[in-house]
Structures are given as C-alpha cells and as structure tokens.
C-alpha cells in the first residue's frame, strides 16, 4: 500500500491533535481557536462558494455565512469530516500535493505552536524535500507584500532559490518548515538566518506576509 502524501498525513495529524487539545485550544492564527481552524479548512475544501471569499474580499459575506453554518456543528463531527472530506477536487493526488502540502503543514504547526512549550519537530528528508518544493512554488506570492527581492536556502545547500528577483536580495536560510512558516506570516519560528541589506531585512521581517 503506498505511503500517504505529506499533505494527507499532516491533515490526519492536525485532526488527531485537534481532538486531543479540544475546540477552544489557541492557534497561531489571530483570534482563531482549534474549531475556527477546522471550520476554515472545511469551508475551503467542501464549500466552493463559501471558499470564494477567502481569496476575494468582495465575496467575504459568502464565507462568513458558510463558516457560521458549520460552526454550529459538534466539534468532533467537524474534525472527522475534515479527516475524510470525501470526493472533492482536493482528494485528487496532484491537486492534493499542489494545494494542500503547504496548507496543512502550516496549519498543523499553527495548532502545535499555539500551545505552551512547543518545540520544532523534524520531518524526514523526503518530506523536507516535498515541503521545499511547495515553498518554492508558492513563495513568490507569499513574499510579494514585502516588496523586496528574496531568496531562500536550506542549511548546507550551495545554491539559493529566488522567490522575487531584484538587486541586493535578502536571503533567508533555514529548514523548510521554518521557512514555510515565516513566509506564511508566522512569527513563531526558530533557526532562521537573514542576510542582505539591513533595511531590506527589516522590511521583510515587518511585512504582512502570506500572500
């Protein structure tokens, strides 16, 4: 039997942790509890019209209504629905890898790192490679709000990946999970190194990243 994708395994790990922590557990997403996070992910995957407001502010009312309807349901039921959402485009392996790898790694960490005493976890080398590919694909959009040239590099790697072109770029060096979280706008990261013009580094670190 083939090994489930990283996205699928992160989905299941998030669901397991959500049940252990409970619906009121805090997350790294401002003001969101574990239940808010689960509802957000369900709307994104199972409510196409409701999900439109996630990316199009003009349709935010549709998202708000979809969220309100789901939020009235029992937390455990919602978690199990998220664990196995059924036939959605996200269940197709190519779509799952493209759209859910970064999404579920980051949101699993949102739940993990929202708790006191969290520590970074080590992914396998293969999973690090998978996550790095996802970061490379999404990174250009994620760093756009900073308005500065950005490159990323894994520790020990000779070359860097350009996310946004330009002179005198900022280079972020760190493990794939930490880079993914930083580029997604999370401050709870460890072990990142920033090289480049101080003003550009400051602008990047102060930017509202995440697309």
Specify the pLDDT at position 61.
63
Specify the pLDDT at position 84.
92
- Mean pLDDT value of segment 111-116: 97
Specify the pLDDT at position 62.
64
Residues in contact with 139: Cβ distance below 8 Å, sequence separation at least 6, in sequence order: 150, 152, 161, 163, 183
Specify the pLDDT at position 87.
81
Specify the pLDDT at position 184.
97
- Condensed to tens digits (0 to 9), the pLDDT of residues 19-75 reads 999 999 999 998 999 999 999 999 888 865 545 545 556 556 666 787 778 889 999
- Condensed to tens digits (0 to 9), the pLDDT of residues 145-197 reads 999 999 999 998 888 999 999 999 999 999 999 999 999 999 999 999 999 99
CA 122 remoteness from chain centre:
16
- Structural domain boundaries of the chain? 6-112, 125-206
- Mean pLDDT value of segment 100-121: 97
Where residue 90 falls among pLDDT bands split at 50, 70, 90?
Answer: confident
Predicted confidence (pLDDT) at residue 130 exceeds the cutoff of 70? yes
CB 109 within 8 A of CB 177: yes
CB 110 within 8 A of CB 37: yes
Beta carbons within 10 angstroms of residue 84's beta carbon = 10
Secondary-structure percent of the chain, ordered helix, strand, coil, rounded to 5 = 60, 10, 35
CA gap 122, 13 in Å, rounded:
14
CA 31 remoteness from chain centre:
16
The DSSP call for residue 28 is S
CA gap 7, 108 in Å, rounded:
10
pTM above 0.95, yes or no: no
């Amino acid at each position: 039997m083939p090994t489930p994708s990283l996205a699928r395994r992160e989905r299941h790990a998030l669901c397991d942790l959500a049940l252990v922590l409970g619906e009121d557990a805090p997350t790294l997403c401002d003001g969101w509890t574990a239940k808010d996070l689960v509802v957000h992910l369900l709307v994104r995957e199972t409510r196409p019209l409701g999900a439109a407001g996630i990316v199009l502010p003009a349709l935010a009312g549709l998202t708000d209504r979809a969220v309100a309807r789901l939020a009235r349901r029992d937390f455990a039921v919602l978690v199990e629905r998220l664990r196995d959402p059924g036939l959605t485009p996200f269940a197709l392996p190519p779509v799952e890898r493209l759209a859910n790898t970064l999404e579920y790694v980051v949101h699993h960490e949102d739940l993990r790192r929202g708790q006191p005493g969290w520590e970074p976890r080590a992914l396998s080398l293969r999973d690090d490679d998978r996550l790095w590919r996802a970061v490379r694909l999404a990174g250009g959009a994620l760093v756009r709000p900073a308005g500065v040239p950005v490159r990323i590099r894994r520790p020990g790697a000779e070359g860097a990946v350009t996310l946004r072109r330009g002179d005198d770029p900022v280079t972020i060096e760190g493990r794939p999970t930490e880079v993914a979280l930083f580029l997604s706008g999370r401050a709870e990261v460890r072990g990142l190194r920033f090289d480049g013009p101080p003003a550009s580094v400051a602008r990047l670190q102060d930017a509202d990243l995440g697309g």
